[in-house]
Every structure is written in C-alpha cells, then in structure tokens.
DNA sequence: CAGTATCCTCGAGGATACTG
DNA sequence: CAGTATCCTCGAGGATACTG
C-alpha cells in the first residue's frame, strides 16, 4: 500500500496519518506552534533538507494547514501561518508531548501554563458529555460495517 | 539528521516521534487497540509487508509498548498485547482520530461511547487544574534554555 | 532571505517463497 | 499460524550550489 493510499481508506486515523505521518511534517507543525514562520527559520531549527522543507510547506499549504502570507514586497517574502485547521492539530501535538514527557525524557523541556487559572497545566482528556476523565477502558467503540 | 537521532534531541515530541513517526507503527498500534493481537491478523488487516511487520513488532516490544505473550505451546504461538505504556498512547490515537473525523471524512466510521454515562463521547482536552477547555491560545509555553 | 535545481545514497517497504 | 529469508524498487531525504 502506497502512503498516499492511506488517505483513501475509511479510517480517520489513517487519513490523518496520510497527512502528517512522515518523518518531518509533524515536527514542522510543532515548530510553527513554537513561533517559527519562515523558511530559513524552519530549516535552521530543524536541520531538515531545503528540498524536503520546500515540499512539505507546499503540501501543508495545499492541504490547508498552513497559509502562505506575503509579509514584505520587493522582493516578495512569504511566511507560513497555521490556519484553524492547522491549529486544530494542537491536541495531537499536546498528547504526543505528554507521552514523551512521561516516558522518553527526564525533565520536560517545555512547561505549559493555563492562562486563565495561572497554573501549570497538564491537559487531559475528558468526556464532553459528563466531564469525567476518559481512557481506553472507559470507552466502547462501535465500528461501521465498512470501517477499515 | 537520521530518524533515530530524533530520539536523542531534547524535545518530548521529537522523541515520541522517533518511536511512532513512521508509516506503519501508529497504525499497528491502532490495530492493537481495535483488538488485533496476532501476526497474521495485523498483516491481513493492514496489508503491511511481513518483514516490516516483524521488524515493527520487535521494536515495539523492545520499546515496552507491546508485550509478547505465549498463548499456546507446541508449537509455541505468541501474541502482542499493549502494555500500560502502550495504552498511554491512546490519547494520541484519539486526537488523531478526532482531527480526521473533522477534516478528512464525511461519516466517522468509529463511534465512541463513554461507558459511565452511556453517551456518545467526544473527548476533549481540559486543564487538569481548573477543568476548563484548553486550546493553543489558552496556554503559554515556557521553554527550557536547552530545549530543542 | 526564500526558495529551486541537481545529484546521490540508503533504507523503508513490497513481493514472494519457505519453515517449524 | 508466526514468523524468517531474499530480492528488488522507488522515493524520501541529505548535501550542495545557485538565484532573484
């Protein structure tokens, strides 16, 4: 199965994976959340090849995750900003980070504070209906007949 | 930068990505959450190459995400079960799914019900301290000086 | 700066046959 | 079943030079 074919399969995880499931894409997005918006910024901070980066930025722009904005004229210069669709990947980033914090690192290099309450935040998944914490065991999954 | 080198960088996201950030690993894990535990089950459901699958199952077992259990003797047969460390990837899976549900598919092929309240669950991220919904804008990030 | 163009390497992954 | 062994292909990604 080709990587792009994942995008056609009837599974939300696989389709998302077809977009971000390669070596660099998610790290480029993470870098954008961190405040990097320009080509050379991404390139230097990540150490990713210029051709790869060029390709990813184009794909992510086409996908609607980045918006390419001109921030200067003559010569024209562009930067990449996350769209709402891109921002909505934040929960993915956050859960990746929390797992890494827990299992792959001693001292988490990033701390998140919740602006509203001012406290160190460790976001957690709760049921939208009753507000209880949810994990794998507390949910039951129902698969459509044609689910991949 | 080699893919494995991501695992040594001072960033929880990158280190997690070094574990699951390839074409198949996350989908194998998703399949395990779905209830597949045996080699041929993974192979047939995913259509992944047998050599690739063999390699990933070994790596994930070594990483402590899967546990390899003998479920039959003479001949010995083994199956792969998620450990707690593996189960703790559930939030990643869930957030990937929810993004796909929203942006990449019409009718979500999987529905999750919260066992406790019985309702259709759409898990969401809330601050562990005050319980409010959090997104990118409501959090402020503090980076360690040596953060990647 | 923000890319494009080129060339190159290597390894991921597919396909298939075989084994206890 | 649960793999291992082999062979092969192709494309992802690295490196570097160049451009407006």
pLDDT tens, position by position, A10-66: 999 999 999 999 999 999 999 999 999 999 999 999 999 999 999 999 999 999 999
Task: List the A67 CA – C3 C1' distance (angstroms).
Answer: 17
Residue-averaged pLDDT of chain B: 94
Query: Using the beta-carbon criterion (under 8 Å), do A16 and B100 form an inter-chain contact?
Result: yes
Chain A and chain B share a number of CB contacts under 8 A equal to 273
Stretch B64-78: mean pLDDT? 91
Query: Is B127 an 8 Å CB contact of chain A?
Result: yes
Beta strands A124-126 and B124-126 are antiparallel
pLDDT at B4 over 80: no
B73 pLDDT higher than 90: no
B25-34 helix and A12-20 helix, angle to the nearest 10 degrees = 170
Query: Contact, A133 vs B117, CB < 8 A?
Result: no
Residue B2 — pLDDT band, cuts 50, 70, 90? low
Q: Report the sign of the C-alpha dihedral through residues A130, A14, B33, B84, in that order.
A: negative
Q: Which of A16, A10, A1 is nearest to A146 (CA)?
A: A10
Q: How far is the CA of A94 from the C1' of D1 (A)?
A: 39
Residues 6 or more apart whose CB falls under 8 angstroms from that of B90 comprise A135, A136, B33
- For A77-127, the pLDDT digits (tens) are 999 999 999 999 999 999 999 999 999 999 999 999 999 999 998 899 999
Count of positions (residues) in chain B: 148
B133 touches chain A (CB under 8 A): no
| C-alpha–C-alpha distance, residues A66 and A54, integer Å | 13
Contact by Cβ (8 Å): B13, A96: yes
pLDDT for residue A75: 84
User: Taking residues B58-74, what's their average pLDDT?
Assistant: 93
Q: Which pLDDT score is estimated for A116? A: 94
Q: Which residues of A69-83 are buried (b: 16+ CB within 10 A; e: fewer)?
A: eeeeeeeeeebbebe
Is B122 a residue whose pLDDT tops 70?
Answer: yes
B-chain residues within 8 Å CB-CB of A127?
A: 114, 116-117, 119, 121, 123
Cβ neighbours of B89 (radius 10 Å): 24
- Minimum-distance nucleotide, CA of A22 to C1': D12
Task: Report which of B32, B73, B92 is spatially closest to residue A103, judged by C-alpha positions.
Answer: B92
Domains of chain B, start order:
3-138 (1.10.10.10)
- Put simply, whether the predicted model's pTM sits higher than 0.85 gets the answer yes
Nearest residue of A to residue B93, measured between CA atoms: A13
| pLDDT surpassing 80 at residue B81 | yes
A30 φ, ψ to 5°? -55, -45
Distance between CA atoms of residues A40 and B16, nearest Å:
25
Looking across all nucleic acid strands, the nucleotide with the smallest C1' to CA distance from residue B37 is D2
> What confidence tier does A73 reach under pLDDT thresholds 50, 70, 90?
confident
At a CB cut-off of 8 Å and minimum separation 6, what does A75 contact?
A: none
Q: What is the pLDDT of residues A23-38, one digit of tens each?
A: 999 999 999 999 999 9
Alpha carbon distance A30, A144 (integer Å): 33
Residue A3 has pLDDT above 80, yes or no: no
pLDDT at position A40, please?
A: 95
The mean-pLDDT minimum among A63-72, B4-13, B109-118 falls in B4-13
Q: DSSP labels for B77-133?
A: EEEEEE-HHHHTTHHHHHHHHHHHHHHT-SS-SEEEEETTT-SBP--EEE-TTT--B
pLDDT for A130: 93
| CB pair distance less than 8 Å for B109 and A30 | no
Q: Tell me: the pLDDT tens digits for B13-60?
A: 999 999 999 999 999 999 999 999 999 999 999 999 999 999 999 999
Q: How much is the pLDDT for A2?
A: 63
Q: Which two tokens stand for residue A104?
A: 């792959």
Give the SS3 label for residue B23: coil
Cβ distance B127 to A109 less than 8 Å, yes or no, reads: no
List residues, Cβ < 7 Å, touching strand C: A 1-2, 38-41, 50-51, 54, 57-58, 68, 71, 75, 77-80; B 3, 22-24, 47-52, 75
Interface test with A, best of B15, B91, B146 (most A CBs within 10 A): B91
Return the H-helix or E-strand segment holding A84. helix A84-87
Q: What is the pLDDT of residue A122?
A: 87
Q: Give the C-alpha separation, A11 to B78, whole Å.
A: 27
């Amino acid at each position: 199965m080709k990587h792009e074919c994942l995008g056609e399969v009837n599974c939300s995880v696989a389709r998302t994976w077809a977009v971000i499931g390669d070596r660099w894409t998610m790290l480029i997005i993470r870098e954008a959340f961190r405040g990097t918006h320009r080509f050379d910024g991404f390139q230097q901070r990540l150490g990713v090849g210029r051709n790869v980066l060029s390709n990813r930025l184009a794909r992510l722009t086409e996908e609607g995750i980045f918006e390419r904005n001109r921030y200067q004229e003559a010569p024209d210069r562009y930067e990449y900003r996350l769209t709402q669709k891109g921002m909505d990947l934040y929960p993915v980033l956050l859960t990746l980070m929390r797992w890494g914090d827990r299992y792959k690192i001693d001292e988490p290099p990033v701390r998140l504070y919740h602006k509203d309450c001012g406290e160190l935040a460790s976001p957690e998944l709760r049921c939208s209906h009753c507000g209880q914490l949810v994990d794998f065991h507390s949910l039951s999954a129902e698969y459509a007949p044609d689910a991949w």
